[in-house]
Each structure stands twice: as structure tokens, then as C-alpha cells.
Amino acid sequence: MKKRPTISIVISVYNEESVLELFWQEILKKVKKIKCHYELIFVNDGSTDQSKSILESFTQKNPNVSILHLSRNYGHEAAMIAGIDYSKGDAVICMDADLQHPPAVIKSMFDKFIDGFEIITMIRTDNQGSNLLNKIASKLFYRIINKISPVNFQINASDFFLVSRRVADILKNEFRERIRFLRGFIQIIGFRATSIEYIAPSRAGGKSKYSFFKLVMFSLATMASFSQVPLHLGIVIGVIFGIVSVILGVYSIIMKLMNEVISGYTTIVVATTFLFGVQFFLIGIIGQYIGFIFSENKKRPIYLVDCITRFSKK
């Protein structure tokens, strides 16, 4: 008799007390309909509300539940990595607890895995919980990164995905970067992959932990980690202004030979100010890359686990 596969579901949690009970009810209903063994790994990413006590109550209700309590808030990507590191299933699903990643599509993801796919990315066709500004920013992010990166990323791919055990082990052992973009990592690994479209509903409770500023900074870091094109800007701009300076030099010599008076005070001031701005912009880009190198060389842990809570008979 063929052994039934085990699926690990990693759920990142940060101050989600208002939605955890509802999520618990929904996830149990959906996974029990799948013909497989399962484990639920909740990663408490340093929550400061009542999320910890709510999560620990789940371990008394179901022996398939484990809770990883991180020592502090390390961020969403680190929480997902922690869950993947501790997972044991033949397939691993990463998702959020706010119900914007609907548990109803888990069966479709698992069916694709049974069909032989090792990576299933989830593509949002609509995000009902996002405002217009964030939607525009998301489209702009993917347009820019696909222009400057050698990899063509799927537009509107989310942090809701399934990977096989082999891919999970690769993420665990090889992709240990401090600047992380998991939905990007799984798209550059290779292997047999497919995608499923879904509509992300509004949050069932609480509020988003990503401000617009945090999303912008995360996007800039991601672009830099997947492309070296920003570093080439200095060469391109240098060549352009080198050509311009030659043209201006030839023009000035001709005007001098023709005894024409050249008035260039305003031009000099504007050009100098503009060039200083460009120079500091390029220094900032170089500093960003140097900061990444510094962060990687320190090799500090991506996360630290405070304690693990599992089912125990009273």
C-alpha cells in the first residue's frame, strides 16, 4: 500500500489575536478533507498581544500542532524560514494567519503536488484588502525588477506557496541570505513548477504589519539583491556626461576662436548641483550593496527560537 504523504503547513503569526480562532477553525476544516497526514507549524514572530497564549491552546486541542516562539520579531520572511527549517513533511505550504491566504485552496495546491509539481506559486488576481496606492506600487515593483533582473518573476506572486521536501531542504541549507525574498527564491531554483490563481480577501481581523514605507524599503532591498544593474548606473551616467563635456568643450573652443562671449554662470551652477546630486545618489547605491555584503559577512542568525510548544497529554 502506497504511503500517504505528509504535508507541513507553516503559518507566520505576528499580533493576530483577533483572527487566530477563526483561522484555526478554517484551516482544520480544510486539511481534514485532504487525504494525507499533516502538521501545523505556527511561528510566533515575537507577538506582543495575546497571540502566544491563543496559539498554545491549539496544542492542547490537536497533536499535529507545533508552535515556534521566536525570541523577538524577526520579520515575516525570517518566520517563514524558521517554519521551513523545522518542517518534516513531504510538502511544505507557507501562508499567513490573517485569512488573506484562503485555506480553501490548499487542496488544489496539494493536488498539484500529487501530480508531480515541486513548486506551486499562488498568484493574486485581486487583493481586496489592499488600497490603490499599494496596488500601483506592487505593479511598479514587478515591472522594474523584471526589467533589471535576469530572472522574470511572476507578477503578483505571493508568500503563499507550496514546495516539495527537496526544495524545502534547498531553502534550509543553501538559501541563507540575510536579505530574503522567498517568493523570488522559489522561482529561481528550477524544478517542475506551476501556479494557481486566487483572490485575496480582506483581512479577517487586525491590520497589516507592512507600512507603505516598509514595503518600499523591502522592494528596494529585493531589487538590489537580485540585480547588479544599479551598480552599472555610474558607468552609464559617466559615459553620458563625458560625451556632453566633450561637446561643450568643442563648442567653447569654437566660440573662443570666433571671439564670442560665452556666459555660463547659470549653466555651471545648475550642472554642478545636478552632478553632485547624481554623485551622492550613486554613492548611496554603492553603500546599499556594501551594507548587504557587511550583513552577509557577519553571519548572524536569521532567527532565534525562544521555545517550542507541542501537544502533551495532561
What band does 260 get if pLDDT is binned at 50, 70 and 90? Answer: low
Q: Alpha helices of the chain — where are they, by DSSP H?
A: 20-31, 51-59, 76-86, 106-114, 132-148, 165-173, 182-188, 212-226, 229-257, 265-298
pTM for the model stands at: 0.79
Pairing of strands 91-96, 157-164: antiparallel
First to last CA, the chain: 35
Give the integer Cα–Cα distance in Å for 46 and 69: 7
Q: What angle do CA 286, 175, 231 make, to 5 degrees?
A: 15
Q: Please give the helix or strand (H or E) that residue 307 lies within, else none.
A: strand 305-310
Is 189 in a helix, a strand, or coil?
coil
Residue 170 amino acid letter: I
Residues in the chain: 314
pLDDT at 206: 60
Nearest CA to 48 out of 94, 16, 80 is that of 16
Summarised one tens digit per residue, pLDDT across range 164-183 is 999 999 999 988 887 778 88
For domain 6-211+302-310, say whether CATH 3.40.50.740 is its number.
no
Which residue type sits at 138?
S
Question: Which pLDDT tens digit goes with each residue over 7-48?
Answer: 999 999 999 988 899 999 999 989 988 888 899 999 999 999
For the segment 259-281, the average pLDDT, to the nearest whole number, is: 71
